[in-house]
Amino acid sequence: MIKQIVFAIALLITLGAFTFTILRIVSFFKLTKKAFPVRDFGKRFGVMMEVAFGQTKIFRRPVIGFLHALVFWGFCVILIGSVEMVIDGLFGTEKVLKFLGLFYDIIMASGDIFALLIAISILVFLFRRVFLHIKRFEGIEMKKISHLDANIALSIILFLMLSLLGMNSAYYSHTTLVGGTIQGVYPVSKFLSTVFSGLSADSTLVQYEIFWWMHILLIFLFANMLPYSKHFHVFMSVPNVFLSRLEPLGKLTNMDNVTREVKLMMDPNTAFATPAADAPIERFGVKDAEDASWKNYFDSLACTECGRCTSVCPANITGKKLSPRKVIMDLRARMKEKGPMLVRNGKDYTDNKSLIRDYISEEELWACTTCNACAKECPININHPTLIVDMRRYLVMEEGSAPGELKAVFSNIENNGAPWQYSSEDRLLWAVDLEMNIPIR
Amino acid sequence: METRKIQVPVMADLFGKGEKPEYLFWVGCAGAYDDRYKKVVRAFTKILTHLNVSFAVLGKEESCTGDPARRAGNEMLYQMQALQNIEIFKMYEVKKIITICPHCFNIFKNEYPDLGGVYEVISYVQLLDKFMDEGKLKLDASKLKNDRITYHDPCYLGRANDIYDEPRSILKSLTTNYIEMERSKSFALCCGAGGAQMFKEAEKGNKEVFIERTEDALKTNPKIIATACPFCMTMMTDGLKYKNKEEEIKNCDIAELIAISLEL
CA distance A297 to chain B (A): 20
Structural domain range at position B30: 11-129
Q: How far apart are CA A336 and CA A42, in angstroms?
A: 34
Provide the domain count of chain A: 2
Provide the CATH number for the domain around residue A383.
1.10.1060
Q: Do A419 and B50 touch (CB under 8 A)?
A: no
B203 closest CB neighbour out of A259, A367, A436:
A367
Domain-embedded: residue A46: no
Task: Tell whether B40 is covered by a domain.
Answer: yes
In angstroms, rounded to a whole number, what is the distance separating the alpha carbons of residues A52 and A381?
A: 9
Note whether residue B106 is domain-resident.
yes
Q: In this predicted model, what pLDDT tens digit does every residue of A218-267 receive, in sequence order?
A: 999 999 999 999 999 999 999 999 999 999 999 999 999 999 989 888 87
Q: pLDDT grade, residue A200 (50/70/90)?
A: confident
The reply to whether B48 and B146 lie within a common domain is no
According to the model, what pLDDT value does residue A157 have?
96
Give the model confidence (pLDDT) of A319-371 as tens digits: 999 999 999 999 999 999 999 999 999 988 999 999 999 999 999 999 999 99
The secondary structure element, H or E, covering residue A281 is none
B235-256 pLDDT per residue, tens? 999 999 999 999 999 999 999 9
Chain A residue numbers touching B50 (CB-CB < 8 A)? 436, 439
Please give the full DSSP string across A234-265, using - where no structure is assigned.
HHHHHHHHHT---S-TTPPPP-HHHHHHHHHH
pLDDT band with cut points at 50, 70 and 90 for residue A271: low
Point out the domain boundary residue: B129, B159, B191: B129
Question: Which residues neighbour A262 within 8 Å (Cβ) at sequence distance 6 or greater?
Answer: B76, B79, B80, B83
Query: Do A296 and A184 share a structural domain?
Result: no
The pLDDT score that the predictor gives to residue A270 is: 65
A431 lies in some domain: no
CA distance A376 to A249: 8
The reply to whether A211 and A304 lie within a common domain is: no
The CATH number linked to A84 is 1.20.950
Q: Which of B73, B190, B194 sits opposite A396 (nearest CB)?
A: B73
Please indicate, yes or no, whether residues A23 and A169 belong to a single structural domain of this protein.
Answer: yes
The residue of chain B with its CA nearest to that of A250 is B160
- Are the C-beta atoms of residues B236 and B212 closer than 8 Å to each other? no
CA distances from A375 to A227, A329, B75, B78 (A): 23, 15, 22, 23
Per-residue pLDDT reduced to its tens digit, A382-439: 999 999 999 999 999 999 999 999 999 999 999 999 999 999 999 999 999 999 988 6
Q: Is B155 on the interface with A (CB under 8 A)?
A: yes
Residues with Cβ within 8 Å of residue A115, at least 6 apart in sequence: A74, A78, A161, A164, A165, A168, A188
CATH number at residue B118: 3.40.50.1860
- Restricting to A residues 42-71, those with a Cβ less than 8 Å away from any Cβ of B are 60
Contact A315 B205 (CB under 8 A): yes
Q: Are residues A219 and A296 in the same domain?
A: no
Instruction: Please check whether residue B144 lies inside any domain of the structure.
Output: yes
Is residue A191 included in any domain, yes or no?
A: yes
A262 in contact with B, Cβ within 8 Å = yes
How does DSSP classify residue A49?
A: I
B210 and B173 share a domain?
yes
Q: Which of B82, B98, B129 is the last residue of a domain?
A: B129
Distance CA A220, CA A9 (A): 12
Put simply, the answer to whether A397 touches B75 (Cβ < 8 Å) is: yes
Cβ-Cβ contacts under 8 Å, A418 against chain B: 29, 32-33, 63-64
Q: Do A376 and B161 touch (CB under 8 A)?
A: no
User: Does residue B6 belong to any structural domain of this protein?
Assistant: no
Is residue A316 domain-resident?
yes
What value of ipTM does the predicted structure carry?
0.96
A192 and A287 inside one domain: no
Distance CA A372, CA A94 (A): 51
Q: Which residue has the higher pLDDT, B151 or A271?
A: B151
Q: Which domain holds residue A82?
A: 2-30+61-232
Indicate if B54 and B154 belong to the same structural domain.
no
> At B236, which CATH number?
3.40.50
Q: Angle CA(B94)–CA(B98)–CA(B103) in degrees, nearest 5?
A: 110
Residues B91 and B147 in one domain: no
pTM, whole model, 2 decimals? 0.95
Distance CA(A296)–CA(A35), nearest Å, equals 9
One domain for residues B25 and B120: yes
* Residues B177 and B257 reside in one and the same domain: yes
Residues A11-44 pLDDT 10s: 999 999 999 999 999 999 999 999 999 999 999 9
Residue B134 maps to a domain: no
Same domain, A286 and A222: no
Distances (CA, A) of B37 to A32, A432, B32, B229, B230: 44, 15, 8, 9, 6
- Mean pLDDT to the nearest integer, A194-213: 87
**DSSP line for A69-88:** HHHHHHHHHHHHHHHHHHHH
Is B176 inside a domain boundary?
Answer: yes
From B94, B129, B164, give the residue that closes a domain. Answer: B129
* Residue A439 within a domain: no
Q: Give the side-chain half-sphere CA count within 13 A for B10.
A: 14
How far apart (Å, rounded) are the C-alpha atoms in residues A283 and A91? 54
Touching A: B residues 197-256, CB under 8 Å? 197-209, 212-213
Of the pLDDT bands very low, low, confident and very high (cuts 50, 70, 90), residue A311 is very high
How crowded is the C-beta side of A109, counted as CA atoms within 13 Å? 9
Between residues 280 and 339 of chain A, which touch chain B (CB distance below 8 Å)?
284-285, 312, 314-315, 317-322
**A-interface mutation test, from B203, B207, B215, B216, most A Cβ less than 10 A away:** B203
Interstrand relation of A435-437 and B3-5 (parallel, antiparallel or unpaired) = antiparallel
Which of B3, B53, B57, B76 to mutate to test binding with chain A, by most A CBs within 10 Å of its CB? B76
Number of domains within chain B: 2
